[in-house]
Amino acid sequence: MWNKNELTQKLGIAYPIIQAGMAGGVTTPELIAAVSNAGGLGNLGAGYMQPEQMKQTIQKVKALTDQPFGVNVFIPEIPEVSEVDLEKANEWLRPFREELKLKEPAVGKPSTALFEQQLEIIIEEQVPVCSFTFGVPSKAIIQQLKRENITLVGTATTVNEAMINEEIGVDMVVVQGSEAGGHRGTFSIPFGEAMVGTMALVPQTVDHIGIPVIAAGGIMDGRGVLAALTLGAQAVQMGTAFVTSLESGAKKQHIESILNSTEDQPQITSVFSGKPARGIQNEFMTKMAPYEKELPSYPVQNALTKEIRTEAAKQDRPEWLSLWSGQGSRLSKRLSARELVVGIVSQVNQLVR
């Protein structure tokens, strides 16, 4: 049986299909619960979430499903950003703010406080699965969460990063191929050196670590799921496929853009957040590209562009939104999350017959 392995047993799920914990409002309680209720693993993208909102969302998920689900959090990064760099960035962003009638935002200093509060909630709420992106947590945090019987999932973009995750003690690791949409999880080398395609990354990782590997990047349907399992992964993580689902909280322009895109449109950019991410090429990306290397690091740049993105959605200007998408975008469909999971399972069942 393609769906029974160490990972599905450990997570207590029927099918090795994980919905990525995408931050920024995509992962509604309805989406998470629909995926978990269909036999996959729904995940809350809590990376940017404030404690109270996060807690309420988790409670809402619990009200909608009695199946396991996960929460994804970001390992904090505290970059040094000078006043001069901040001023330069604000100057480059001024034309967008003017047209949207926005003021320059006050941007607070990044801290690790939010991350610590998020972990407390995960423990309090007894969330079954916790995943990390943008690095690995300390061994102390790993031990604390393990004592609470929380299953831990890391993120890697190279074989070496997967080995670092195994060494620190996570239970399983997502390997994110270069096809993946949204932010790159690279944390150990310059991101450009870690753009390894899923087809190459999965088998090489499987050969070098003992914990289960979850394949991510370019997987959109049953063909991709079975191919990833064939390469040695024990599950897949899919993001883009769920962004266009009916329960998705993604902005409607974002969903439309993915549904109408070709595979060469999602490109890597740092201009939205200060961290490389894959999204459908648009005017904000091309206009800001000349300044890309001089922009403040994540999460400062992310904070600087936040209102622009929110307001651009309200004013229906998709050309200034972050339209995160992986390279499998031509395969996207507008379906309920249940239909998506059920369709994938039946496609895999037909392929293995």
State whether residue 42 is helix, strand or coil.
strand
- Using the rule CB under 8 A, is 167 a contact of a copy of itself? no
Footprint of a copy of itself on residues 77-116 (CB under 8 A)?
A: none
What are the residues whose beta carbons fall under 8 Å from the beta carbon of 110, sequence distance 6 or more? 76, 77, 78, 79, 299, 300
SS3 string of 273-337? CCCCEEEECCHHHHHHHHHHHHCCCCCHHHHHHHHHHHHHHHCCCHHHCCCECCCCHHHCCCCCH
Residue 336 as a binder of a copy of itself (CB under 8 A): the answer is no
Interface with a copy of itself in residues 141-160 (CB under 8 A): 158-160
Fill in the per-residue mask, 112 to 141: x = in contact with a copy of itself (CB under 8 A), - = not in contact: ------------------------------
Q: In this chain, which stretch among 76-84, 127-135, 320-328, 337-345 interacts with a copy of itself, using CB under 8 A?
A: 320-328
Smallest separation (angstroms) from a copy of itself to the CB of 27: 22
Of residues 109 and 353, the one with the C-beta less far from a copy of itself: 353
* Footprint of a copy of itself on 215-274 (CB under 8 A): 217-221, 223-224, 226-228, 230-232, 262-264, 267
The whole-angstrom separation of Cα 87 and Cα 294 is: 11
Return the closest-CA partner of residue 22 out of 152, 157, 174: 174
Q: Please report whether residue 46 would count as binding a copy of itself according to CB under 8 A.
A: no
339 binds a copy of itself (CB under 8 A): no
194 binding a copy of itself? (CB under 8 A): yes
Among 201, 214, 235, 271, binds a copy of itself (CB under 8 A): 201
What's the closest the beta carbon of residue 156 comes to a copy of itself, in angstroms? 11
CA gap 146, 142 in Å, rounded? 6
Residue of 66, 87, 91, 207 interacting with a copy of itself (CB under 8 A): 207
> What is the closest distance, in whole angstroms, from the C-beta atom of residue 353 to a copy of itself in the complex?
12
Structure tokens at 172: 């399983």
Q: Which stretch binds a copy of itself (CB under 8 A): 30-38, 138-146, 251-259, 325-333?
A: 325-333
Half-sphere exposure at residue 22, Cβ-oriented, CA atoms within 13 angstroms? 33
User: Does 166 participate in binding a copy of itself (rule CB under 8 A)?
Assistant: no
**Alpha carbon separation from 279 to 57, 86, 172, 266, 268 (Å, rounded):** 26, 24, 27, 5, 6
71-106 as b/e: b if 16+ CB within 10 A: bbbbbbbeeebeeebbeebeebbeebbeebebeeee
| Least distance between a copy of itself and beta carbon 199 (Å) | 4
CB nearer to a copy of itself: pick between 171 and 179: 179
The reply on whether position 283 binds a copy of itself by CB under 8 A is no
Contacts of 217 (CB under 8 A, 6+ apart): 176, 177, 178, 179, 180, 197, 198, 201, 326, 327
Contact 123, 150 (CB under 8 A): yes
Kindly state whether residue 315 participates in binding a copy of itself, applying the rule CB under 8 A.
Answer: no
Q: Does 200 bind a copy of itself (CB under 8 A)?
A: yes
Measure the CA–CA gap between 166 and 172, rounded to whole angstroms.
8
CB of 164 to a copy of itself, least distance (A): 13
Binding interface with a copy of itself (CB under 8 A): 158-160, 177-179, 189, 192-201, 203-204, 207-208, 217-221, 223-224, 226-228, 230-232, 262-264, 267, 326-328, 330-331, 351
